[in-house]
Amino acid sequence: MIDNNLVVLNRQPTLHKMSMMAHRVKILPWSTFCLNLSVTTPYDANFDGDEMNLHLPQSIKAKVELSELMMVPRLIITPQSNRPVMGIVQDTLTAVQKMTKRDVFIEKTAILKPEPLWTGKQLFSLILPQEVNCIRTHSQHPDDEDNGPYTWISPGDTKVLIENGRLLSGILCKKTLGTSVGSLAHIVFMECGHHIAGQLYYHIQLVVNNWLMLEGHSFGIADTITDQQTYETIQATIKKAKNEVNKVIQRTHRDSLELSPGNSLRQTFENVVNGLLNSARDKTGLLAKRSLSDFNQFKAMVVSGAKGSSINISQVIGCVGQQNVEGKRIPFGFKHRTLPHFIKDDYGPEAKGFIENSYLQGLTPVEFYFHAMAGREGLIDTVVKIVETGYIQERLIKAMESVMIKYDGTVRNQFEQLIQFTYGEDDLADENVEFQSIISLKPSNQLFERLCKFDLSSEEKYLRKFLTDDVIRDLDTNESLQLLDDEWKQLNEDRFNLRQIFPTGDTSKIVLPCLQNLTKHLMIVKGDDRLSKEAQYNATMLMNILLLCASLSSRQVLEIHRLTNEAFNWLCGEIEIRFQQA
């Protein structure tokens, strides 16, 4: 084996296609192999002693298959859920969140004097392909900002806007650089192809990691210590919750606790107590998180999505909270008590597994014992689930291993039994499928009409906002009015058909012909016989409704999106190309 050889790398268990991928090798000394961090996600690999198998292809044919079918950039999108299966992780994700803040400036000392400053956003923009446009939000984005009058002004810089390959605003985090649908990697893969998407991962890691070496990121015990006032508030919150639980115990003894529907007195008591104690844990966690500054390294990792969660912050700084076994508070293991350290029939928080200390303060021996009980159950559950799912997977693979797409487009098994007329009923490659919303499905009739009906009876002053005088005159003909009327009928018919499939809700001159022409070109099943026509209709029905219905109705095209003839024709061509690629 030499540098740049193609090899297949596999980590068992091989649960999906991305558990075996082709890589180009770089020969290193010693016995340890290195792997790009972003690629570990589909393998479910980590660096604690995992073993992997490497297969070297022995023929030209095998090498070609690897380069065309199994290279990592080609497998960025998983067909299982139409989203990226690998994203930016760990150090790079923490650093990119820090780098794209408003107050980050980078000196350009080696090139110009005096020193002009680059922002972190400008530096990140150098990595992005020019064709990319993306709108996302940061993980800390408040929802009420979207409803205000200034939707594009974000005080916390939490609205991510990338336009023509330039990061104009927003702090990047896991929501933009992770494995979710519509993430940056997903958009680049769809718009620019697998090769550019693969390069994007490498370039982000190269630039951001080099910046991180200058900036630094260190997490220590100091990052888990908050101010005295917060500690006092946390203690007061826990004390209040314990007092509330004691009051509930007294009410239960007096038989004055109101029963919840369908539950016995004991079940009602346990539900109320659990609710009070969990609420205390959540409140202390919220207090702890709010007390940490934006420069706190613990908070930086959680907010960026690189490692940890809000629960980790609350347990380290606030309180560990209630420990459960089999979904209930710690049961009595000895006679009428959980441990010999408590009196009999003690249903208080401490005796039934509530840990009021944080990890920073340290657990008492009793709390440690309860914590070990809950942890043991978690380990056992994990092992049992792995065994069960592994066996289910094995049987499923065995049952379906002969299913394949034949040359006539049908899906059949080894006995030539027909399973599907076309793969997935629409014959589209799942990697190329995008999520779109059909805006005609949910709104009321009145709102639907306001969104989609193009009304030429409106005042000319209103029409001039988005149409020229020549176009208005051309539209004011019987032919144009008939076309718009036909379009509105088609919209209502499609809306009715769509609601028959998914029951919900209450009881331009060139747009429609272009769309009708486009739908004729979206051919899945060829043939003029009745079965072929029916299969073609079923395969393309949702796509046709999406096109002919609200998304590209005359009003949406002319007034909302304000597309010119040239832009609309380009859009139709792009839709057809993407459909044929899929």
| Section 126-152 average pLDDT | 84
Q: What is the pTM of this model?
A: 0.78
Options 3.30.420.10, 3.40.80.10, 2.40.40.20, 3.40.50.1820; CATH for 5-75 is 2.40.40.20
DSSP collapsed to 3 states, 339-383: CCCCCCCCCCCCCCCEECCCCCCCCCHHHHHHHHHHHHHHHHHHH
- Provide the token pair at 408: 């006539």
Specify the fold of 229-378. Topoisomerase I; Chain A, domain 4 (1.10.132)
Read off the pLDDT of residues 157-210 as tens digits, 9 standing for 90 and up: 899 999 999 999 999 999 999 999 999 999 999 999 999 999 999 999 999 999
Please answer whether residues 137 and 173 qualify as being in contact, where contact means their C-beta atoms are separated by less than 8 angstroms.
no
d(CA 9, CA 52) in angstroms, rounded, equals 7
Evaluate if residue 300 carries a pLDDT over 60. yes
Query: Which fold would CATH assign to domain 90-215?
Result: Enzyme I; Chain A, domain 2 (1.10.274)
CA distances 164 to 73, 125, 161, 195, Å, are: 22, 10, 10, 19
Is the model's pLDDT at 428 over the cut of 60?
yes
Which of 45-54, 107-116, 128-137 comes out lowest in average pLDDT? 107-116
Break the chain into its structural domains and give their ranges.
5-75, 90-215, 229-378, 432-581
pLDDT (0 to 100) of residue 301: 92
Q: Position 68: which residue type? A: E
Contact between 75 and 18 (Cβ < 8 Å): yes
For residues 81-108, give the mean pLDDT.
90
pLDDT at 110: 46
Catalogue the E-assigned strands of 147-258. 159-163, 166-169
Provide the Cα torsion 387, 393, 398, 401; round to 10°.
-150
Does the pLDDT value for residue 462 go beyond 80? no
Q: Taking the mean position of all CA atoms in its chain, how far away is CA 475? A: 44
b/e sequence 55-71, b meaning 16+ C-beta within 10 Å = eebeeeeebeebeeebb
- Say what the pLDDT of residue 561 is: 75
Cα 314 from Cα 311, distance rounded (Å): 5
* Spatial contact of 203 and 127, defined as CB atoms under 8 Å apart: yes
pLDDT level of residue 504 (50, 70, 90 thresholds): very low
Q: What is the pLDDT of residues 551-574, one digit of tens each?
A: 677 777 777 777 777 788 888 888
Give Cα 167 distance to the centre of its chain: 20
**101 DSSP assignment:** S
Question: Looking at residue 126, what is its pLDDT?
Answer: 92
Q: Residue 573 CB: number of other CB atoms within 10 A?
A: 12
pLDDT of residue 501: 63
Q: How far apart are CA 478 and CA 482, in angstroms?
A: 6
237 in Cβ contact with 149 (< 8 Å): no
Q: How confident is the model at residue 459 (pLDDT cuts 50, 70, 90)?
A: low
User: Does residue 327 have a pLDDT over 90?
Assistant: no
Q: 245, 271 in Cβ contact below 8 A?
A: no
